[in-house]
A and B are shown apart, each in its own frame.
Chain A
């Protein structure tokens, strides 16, 4: 390491210091890369696995759930509650209750995999913080209505 000699060391050192200064001054004028989180938000990848969410079907204007209960059976931590009832003049059961207790959910995704109609999907929502446990007891039907209010209301009116 020290075979450069007295002046060689000085020259080598000074040169490397100037190279270092050049690097930092050029970095200084490049654009900022950090995201100012509460004001700006990162784009979430489509693969992001948040909590489960009912999928909105554009054609029917509602969800595809057939109340088979497969998801609730597949759930290892019993955090899904699915209930339906058969209304007058209908062939199939229609969904009345779909609740998720997110405090127990381990995000394994078994419910999404077992769903025969593909009515469940992962949410993109990551801004989930709350003060009470109850805030994480999600009513997924209500969340679906909140995301797509008009068509569902129209469909409900049609019924």
Chain B
């Protein structure tokens, strides 16, 4: 077997394993943080402090029956979870976890990641349409409108970093942050990116597509068992991707206080920063109530996009002058 093929197989297995592990860690973190914010202990039953609870939940979901509702488009209904899950795994292939821990180094890795995370919208559209359920369809429409709107400020804020580094390669962007992190010169872009990222991943307070109180569960109302868990895994994988892009673009990626074997142990700093951002996401979710749909759109079009454009313009002028 050629070594390159072997390397790709090992990488693929590791990436899929990491996606599942990440969902378990985040699920646990989410439930524990929310519990402590509400001054409850949270998970306590399975394993010490409930650490094995998510494993048991996963086993339960695998064991459940996949119900296909009557009148739904059976092929599309089955296809949607896979369509949601598969593109979420792919960004992990190009994320630089450490200097030498990157599976494929691409010149356009940032564009690749953005393209892959955008496919999730199509998966939601397919899921909602195929379910033959009005709640699913409402959730889908909201989700698509939201994702399309928030893509714009997200890309504009990324673009202002790209103007500084003039490269789309994630390793190149990290290398450009040799002396300072870009959050220092682009704080506004970071805030806009982070808010749009939260909206892109359908996190509260922007969780309109799955607003429980009005739409039962939004686009995944009709899904059970592994169909549901694929959406769940995709959501957490997307959260990780969004936070790792934020880490790479604004927080210096795997850079930190040097550790022994720095080319590999940079993963420690990378993970620390990513999970720090993920903690902020969870913290925000358990603090703020859900926004109304018109507020969501107003915020995007009247605040985020003008500010992102102004930031881009100022950055362009400064880059040209310096």
Which residues of A are interface residues toward B (Cβ below 8 A)? 6, 10, 17, 20-21, 23-25, 27-34, 36
Contacts and interface: CB of A to CB of B under 8 A. Distances in A.
Contacts of B319: none
A30 B39 contact: yes
B39 A33 contact: yes
Across the A-B interface, the 3 shortest Cβ-Cβ residue pairs: A24-B287, A28-B36, A33-B39
B39 A17 contact: no
Contacts of A36: 41, 44
Contact of B39 (A20, A21, A25, A27): A27
Contact of B37 (A10, A28, A33): A28
Contact of B40 (A6, A17, A24, A32): A32
A32 B49 CA distance: 14
A35 to B, nearest CB: 10
Given A10-B303, A29-B36, 20 more contacts: A17-B288, A20-B287, A21-B287, A24-B37, A24-B286, A25-B283, A27-B37, A27-B38, A28-B33, A28-B36, A28-B37, A30-B39, A31-B39, A32-B36, A32-B39, A33-B39, A33-B40, A34-B39, A34-B41, A36-B41
B105 to A, nearest CB: 37
Contacts of A28: 33, 36-37
A23 B41 contact: no
Nearest to A34: B40
A15 B286 CA distance: 18
B284 interface: yes
Interface of B: 33, 36-41, 44, 283-284, 286-288, 302-303
Nearest to B307: A10
A78 B303 CA distance: 73
A42 to B, nearest CB: 16
A24 B39 CA distance: 10
A21 B283 contact: yes
A128 to B, nearest CB: 24
A29 B44 CA distance: 18
A32 B286 CA distance: 17
Nearest to A21: B287
A33 B287 CA distance: 19
Nearest to B41: A32
B288 A20 contact: yes
B212 to A, nearest CB: 20
Contacts of B36: 27-29, 32
A10 B288 CA distance: 16
Nearest to A19: B287
A50 B244 CA distance: 58
Contacts of B284: 21
A30 B35 CA distance: 12
29 contacts: A6-B302, A10-B303, A20-B287, A20-B288, A21-B284, A21-B287, A23-B287, A24-B37, A24-B283, A24-B286, A24-B287, A25-B283, A27-B37, A27-B38, A27-B39, A28-B33, A28-B36, A28-B37, A29-B36, A30-B39, A32-B36, A32-B39, A32-B40, A33-B39, A33-B40, A34-B39, A34-B40, A34-B41, A36-B44
Contacts of B44: 36
Contacts of A21: 283-284, 287
A17 B289 CA distance: 11
A28 B35 CA distance: 8
A50 B317 CA distance: 78
A10 B40 CA distance: 34
Nearest to A32: B41
Contacts of A25: 283
Contacts of A34: 39-41
A32 B43 CA distance: 13
A146 to B, nearest CB: 32
A42 B270 CA distance: 45
Contacts of B283: 21, 24-25
A67 B246 CA distance: 81
A23 to B, nearest CB: 7
A31 B302 CA distance: 41
Contacts of B287: 20-21, 23-24
B308 to A, nearest CB: 14
Contacts of A31: 39
Nearest to B39: A33
